[in-house]
Structure 1
């Protein structure tokens, strides 16, 4: 890529950037050169064809380095690191409305890094994205952050190669932080898991590598519309880039935060880790751990070979959902300001309820129930007129821990009959700008809602 570097002294450049950072994000979002998306898709296809990948299902006893812990049946790694698969007893709410259940859960107390490196080319911010293989991804290889690594990985517990570009996210002198926050992961499958979501602007030239490519935010927005192309971790890290819209909101910031605090107070989350073996309602077999009703998800094991990862071969357990999910925001415009209908989601792996999508579920779980017992707004989303669907794409969840976990992500325009401003309990209209600002702080916006925010931002340019 031919580029003109900004050669002004770093302090002067930093002062200018501090004042205009949202404008720089907006300019990058507006840059969508013709033909680039097709070129990037071709590059991903070539990397997929050139680098050998293989994924095979195996029984639990064939896991190398993993074992069923005596006494608990928990799946643990011999290093004592990475993660464990355990049981979880969850209770949410107070009596008489308390709900409870048991489930397997991934326990990974380490804080990983989801880091995207940024650099200006010809006055426009570009972001260094990686063609990265994850065993659970459909198509295996997707567009990922510059660095996507657990603490065990980047400290080389696996005794593999070093993580490229890691120094930009662990050494402050290497660049300028544009975004940095600890964010929750999937509360339905992880127990209190957090990752450090970072965007760092590099100082000076950055070494190139064939598995990495510089893209504008606008190009990434376009690639979001292509099924299973931009991975979950990239979506999560980039959602925190605040691109301001029209000011104003149906509810003030204070009212919104007060409402969320009230929701958290009436839905306390009490979760207790318990043995995986003998987990009520679950069957522990030779090759999977399954729910007795055949619903929700199951725990499986894989053998993986990858030609461009820090380790060329490994085995691991993963969670596999039973069906494709639906994740959606209903949207309405209030005096020219876009709003989304957010739900306060109290998930078993969360510390507290967070702002999530209007709808987030596996529809088949509720197919046998009457409409009054299905998730609110699910039927309206599924039956939405195509003319009201502003965004629709199949996007996979985290491919390092989840196998074939794909959801249809939707943004659907609503009206008073679909979604009134007088919302049911647990729902609140939130302006896009309010949601964007809250992504700069920990434990306010779920990872699915962060993806939808990025999708919503992609509609503007």
Structure 2
């Protein structure tokens, strides 16, 4: 006897075929409870006068609550929680630099990055938090509703409770639009992951001080401004299911051929240069062929690095430093604390080269190997580097296509904004994020690169460890161009 197949009557969250169109409607909306963005900036400016971090650089040995292991030199919190700064030896025999050592952050606990969304007037709005982080170059930035490590939300710091946390601790009671563990920076974190979540609620939600409701369209406008939307918000926004059949009908016809190609890139109906199976086979092959060995080693005596003058730095003066800071804050769960941070020695570049393939915008992604990834390689921007780190290396070691990005004509540059990286562990870490349009010719057909439309990247973002954090930021930036 054949049992007839049944389907759920009420498809919710990501499974609802109407969800991509509802996201698109929010992208096209520029009005929130604030009205236009002028109301947001008035609120944001006033809030910045009351929420601040006073960050004082101090020697590593003077950090309250932290200690240096007398044998290994590793730096850890006295609670045994939060994170540890250790040494790591890396060997990549086929890489431009086959062996090196460096300090790296070990933070095995999984944090929560979550955005709460709710419909007002039938339009999805995101609950965003104006949050200060000690590493932010400008203090206040817009973050997800919840941005907390496990140590934070289990109150290891004995601070105030994290607002709205219960929505993300018990997500099954609501509509789940995104819920996936994603990696963090593989060059500075070792196997670090955060749970990226977007939860839609229908009930009334109390609006607490420091929080605001914005449409996706308004958030996209803010992505055109330096250092407003923080990294944690960008990675969560990228995980939204902004792809699907019928998505094109949600956008009005436009004479802008680039924007039309971008919208088609979000629609599964238009396919791509490679099938998703071909992309996955290619990435699996890269992961299998790449030989990467990492070994924990003592931070003390790490080759090429020295601890003096209260910090840890490389003998060349390049790459990054490990510094100590003491923080006094208002608007945080804890009023003051000390911690070690990574301070990069220069601003980086993260760029997608994009091209129109049969009228569909494709991004040139790179399968990038980094020592902190759990699975060897992830899909990364076309170019992701700090250019000065390659100054003394041979030309062959220079990042591929870096000169194409730096030499682009103004009319090729579709997006160019400087954005901050994670301000809780990194001090004044910023990348210049670029989208540069090029012709889809054979010069870009290289073994470690593939052309992909946005809908394939968004689909892979339903799964862990495929798309790295810098590429996720760029996906959010590309989506911000779809509304005009």
State TM-score, norm by structure 1. 0.93
Are 1:453 and 2:475 counterparts? yes
SS of 2:189 mapped into structure 1: coil
Distance 1:52 1:453 in 2: 30
Distance 1:194 1:13 in 2: 29
Are 1:72 and 2:94 counterparts? no
Report if aligned partners of 1:228, 1:394 keep a CA contact under 8 Å in 2.
yes
Report if aligned partners of 2:53, 2:133 keep a CA contact under 8 Å in 1.
no
For 1:350, which of 373, 386, 391 is the aligned residue? 373
Evaluate the alpha carbon distance shift between residue 16 and residue 341 of structure 1 in structure 2; reply closer, same or farther with a 3 A threshold. Answer: closer
Distance 1:323 1:98 in 2: 20
What are the equivalent positions in structure 2 for 1:198-347 lying under 5 Å apart?
198-244=197-243, 245-246=266-267, 247-347=270-370
User: CA offsets, 1:227-265, max 9 Å, x none?
Assistant: 000000000011011222242101111111111111111
State the match for 1:86 in structure 2.
86
State the match for 2:248 in structure 1.
none
State the match for 1:3 in structure 2.
none
The alpha carbon displacement at 1:192 in A equals 0.3
What are the equivalent positions in structure 2 for 1:65-144 lying under 5 Å apart?
65-93=65-93, 99-144=98-143
Report if aligned partners of 1:332, 1:339 keep a CA contact under 8 Å in 2.
yes
Are 1:363 and 2:362 counterparts? no
Distance 2:167 2:482 in 1: 31
State the match for 2:38 in structure 1.
38
User: CA offsets, 1:157-192, max 9 Å, x none?
Assistant: 000100000000001354221100000000000000
Report if aligned partners of 2:174, 2:199 keep a CA contact under 8 Å in 1.
yes
Are 1:410 and 2:434 counterparts? yes
Distance 2:184 2:67 in 1: 25
Distance 2:114 2:402 in 1: 34
Distance 1:275 1:101 in 2: 14
Deviates more, 1:209-218 or 1:14-23: 14-23
State TM-score, norm by structure 2. 0.89
User: CA offsets, 1:424-449, max 9 Å, x none?
Assistant: 22111111111111111100000000
Report if aligned partners of 2:105, 2:190 keep a CA contact under 8 Å in 1.
yes
Distance 1:284 1:14 in 2: 54
Distance 2:15 2:460 in 1: 21
Deviates more, 1:24-33 or 1:167-176: 167-176
SS of 2:354 mapped into structure 1: strand
The alpha carbon displacement at 1:16 in A equals 11
For 1:431, which of 442, 453, 457 is the aligned residue? 453
Return 5+ residue gaps in structure 2 as ranges: 1-8, 244-265
State the match for 1:55 in structure 2.
55
State the match for 2:263 in structure 1.
none
Report if aligned partners of 1:396, 1:405 keep a CA contact under 8 Å in 2.
yes
SS of 1:279 mapped into structure 2: coil
Return 5+ residue gaps in structure 1 as ranges: 1-10
User: CA offsets, 1:120-166, max 9 Å, x none?
Assistant: 11111101000011100111110000000000000000001000000
User: CA offsets, 1:313-348, max 9 Å, x none?
Assistant: 000000000000010000001111110111111101
Report if aligned partners of 2:171, 2:199 keep a CA contact under 8 Å in 1.
no
State the match for 1:442 in structure 2.
464
What is the number of residues matched between the two proteins? 448
Are 1:399 and 2:397 counterparts? no
State the match for 1:374 in structure 2.
398
Distance 2:13 2:212 in 1: 28
Aligned CA RMSD, in angstroms, stands at 1.9
Report if aligned partners of 2:52, 2:132 keep a CA contact under 8 Å in 1.
no
For 2:442, which of 420, 423, 443 is the aligned residue? 420
SS of 2:446 mapped into structure 1: coil
SS of 2:235 mapped into structure 1: helix
